Structure 1
Amino acid sequence: MYSLTRKVLPWTRFVLLGILLLLGLEMATPDQVWAAGPSVSIDLGSDSPKQTAVVIQILILLTVLSLAPALFIMVTSFTRIVIVLSFLRQALGTQSVPPNQVLLALALFLTMFIMAPVGQQVYGEALQPLLAEQLSYEEAWKKGIEPVRGFMLRQLRDKDLELFITLSKIPKPEKIADVPTHVVIPAFILSELRISFQIGFLIYIPFLIVDMVVASILMSMGMMLLPPAVISLPFKLILFVLADGWYLVVGSMVRSFQ
């Protein structure tokens, strides 16, 4: 716990220092406020080029931190998992069960479970040496992005990668390691959408059969006014429970990344 505190505190002080520098505002005097309204200015330390560079680095860091949730969703297994779980809920016919909070929490923890080896590799090869001041920011970025790139390259289709290489109008790389990261990410997202829809289609099939059987029986009995979804819902639930559906769906999704 003490070693963790020693590592975290310098970063906390660094961020707080950046916030204080960015908030270096010079407010007008009360007479000026009444005369011309409030005036706000931001001092970036133009008198000192070194100080200006530090402030810009802090501003970039804060921008990256604000985009971290979107980056986490797009470059991990979260997209596939949350789409498949949404398809499962729609196939069952339960509009709000499980709730969105439960589905998102399940998708988040499954993503952490799947991405744990990648996170450990990033921490051991990039973040830990960076905190120990053994690597520069550029070197830590290069070492830290490689495990994430490796994960994305294992999941995407060659067809999707070729599409974005063509759209980016860059020379065709000789090997996969030469493909830029900004080309790998959209290809990975496109592949994740394709796979998640394929899994969703397979999930829909057994529940669709139940709906068709129930609708046919109700029509043959002349019960036209009774919604088939009301009758089929208990049968779909019992089918899902007897087949141990959560075990099968979650296990299949986790294995699809291995």
Structure 2
Amino acid sequence: IGVQQVPPNMVLNGIAIIVSVYIMAPVAFSAMQGMQANQAPGNVTQNVTAGIAAAREPFRTFLEAHAKSRERQFFLRSATALWPAQQAKALKDTDLIVLAPAFTLTELTDAFKIGFLLYIGFIVVDLVIANVLMAMGLNQAQPTNVAIPLKLLLFES
């Protein structure tokens, strides 16, 4: 936007953490219920293994729903090329080792697309304001002084 009063990084990171916890809360509750349902008296190692397996499913479901198949196939092919043949053969596109990076890449791709589209909007406003000021003969007026209030009105309202 060109405004210098942007919140500090700590505030932005705090907002990101709060929103992430809010979005992932249903998945975490489901995982917690799955872990609690698999507790049985007996061997602690078996309880931990069963609890982790039960908690893994809600996360896998979430990642499957939000990771694009193109990225999943990319990481599956990459693992096939880089990993030992026996491990790569047993790998599926629904395994967490494939879903986690595919989800991350999907989210980063979407974030860059959104950022680029917003940036185009800001650039268009800057170009229009600069051309209008030049057409009006206001060469001494700084386009940013006129563009910032218009950007705030346009994008924040």
Give your verdict on TM over 0.5. yes
Please tell me the residue identity of whatever aligns with 2:14.
A
- 1:229 match: 144
Structure 2: where are the runs of 5+ without partners? Answer: 81-87
User: Does structure 1 residue 196 correspond to structure 2 residue 119?
Assistant: no
Q: Is the 8 A contact 1:165 1:172 kept in 2?
A: no
Q: Give matches, 1:97-246, under 5 Å.
A: 97-126=6-35, 128-129=36-37, 136-169=47-80, 170-171=88-89, 176=93, 179-224=94-139, 226-242=141-157
Q: Note the C-alpha offset of 1:105.
A: 2.0
* Percent identity between the two aligned chains: 35
The alignment covers a number of residue pairs equal to 147
Cα 1:132–1:105 change in 2 (3 A) is farther
Q: Note the C-alpha offset of 1:161.
A: 0.6
Cα 1:167–1:223 change in 2 (3 A) is same
Please tell me the residue identity of whatever aligns with 1:214.
I
Higher relative contact order at CA 8 Å, sep ≥6: structure 1 or structure 2? 2
Q: Deviations over 1:144-176 (max 9, x none)?
A: 111111111111111111111011012376x75
Calculate the TM-score normalised by the size of structure 1.
Answer: 0.50
Please tell me the residue identity of whatever aligns with 1:101.
M
Structure 1: where are the runs of 5+ without partners? Answer: 1-91, 243-258
Cα 1:94–1:202 change in 2 (3 A) is same
Calculate the TM-score normalised by the size of structure 2.
Answer: 0.78
* Larger Cα-atom Rg: 1
Give the distance between the partners of 2:90 and 2:138, measured in 1 at CA. Answer: 63
